[in-house]
């Protein structure tokens, strides 16, 4: 039987990988060389949310989006991580032919403070709709709590799902909302839950880039 030797280290081996022994071959196979030492993470200084290209997320969401691209690389089988003190400890498992390798990478998380578009709109008092709640005093607090809970749910999927202003009046209260769609959904929820009557009016609220912008006023009457 002809003996095989690794041309790099001279070790006698049974199988060569790209003309090298297993150890020398794996030493040149590195995924971490192409991974940046720093990852920049944008965080809104007002709401505390973290942001990537697709929108608001958690810091874990930013890392997982980064890992999605990493897992598309050739030979990468799996990735795991932990975060401690603004440092990402990354572990990668790669495989080529019948060989596996685990590599570790330490990455600095650099947080950049921003003000997100949602907070900019809220601070400026931006709104697309007014939902006017007319209700007995005994139900006012319950309905307001319902509205705030629903808006919190909607805000996970719609950046315009926010309250930019509230106004308490004798017959109930008015809420200024960043989204017409959310205002309509809230009105429908209150109609279903409390048997509310709904009336909708619309008026011109100005223009953006030459396009007319209308604001909705939704009267929700609960008896």
pLDDT at residue 22 in the model: 81
pLDDT at residue 205 in the model: 64
Mean pLDDT within 114-134: 91
CB burial class (10 A; 0-12, 13-18, 19+) of residue 26?
middle
How far apart, in whole angstroms, are the C-alpha atoms of residue 197 and residue 81? 52
Which run of H or of E encompasses 99? Answer: strand 99-114
Mean pLDDT within 178-182: 92
pLDDT at residue 60 in the model: 84
How far apart, in whole angstroms, are the C-alpha atoms of residue 137 and residue 122? 28
No. of helices (H) and no. of strands (E), the chain: 5, 13
Confidence of residue 207 (pLDDT cuts 50, 70, 90): low
Residue 219, pLDDT > 90, answer yes
């Amino acid at each position: 039987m002809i003996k095989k030797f690794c041309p790099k280290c001279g070790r006698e081996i049974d199988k060569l990988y790209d003309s090298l022994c297993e150890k020398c071959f794996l030493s040149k196979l590195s995924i971490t060389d192409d991974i940046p030492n720093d990852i920049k993470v944008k965080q809104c200084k007002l709401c505390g949310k973290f942001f990537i290209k697709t929108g608001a997320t958690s810091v874990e969401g930013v890392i997982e989006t980064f890992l999605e691209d990493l897992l598309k690389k050739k030979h990468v089988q799996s990735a795991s991580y932990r975060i401690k003190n603004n440092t990402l400890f990354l572990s990668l498992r790669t495989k080529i032919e019948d060989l596996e390798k685990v590599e570790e990478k330490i990455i600095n998380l650099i947080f950049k403070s921003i003000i997100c578009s949602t907070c900019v709109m809220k601070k400026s008092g931006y709104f697309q709709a007014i939902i006017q709640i007319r209700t007995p005093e005994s139900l006012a607090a319950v309905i307001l709590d319902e509205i705030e809970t629903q808006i919190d749910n909607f805000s996970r999927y719609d950046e315009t799902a926010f309250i930019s202003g509230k106004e308490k009046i004798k017959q109930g209260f008015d809420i200024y909302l960043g989204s017409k769609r959310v205002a309509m959904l809230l009105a429908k929820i209150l109609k279903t839950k409390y048997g509310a009557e709904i009336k909708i009016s619309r008026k011109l609220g100005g223009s953006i880039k030459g396009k007319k912008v209308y604001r909705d006023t939704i009267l929700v009457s609960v008896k």
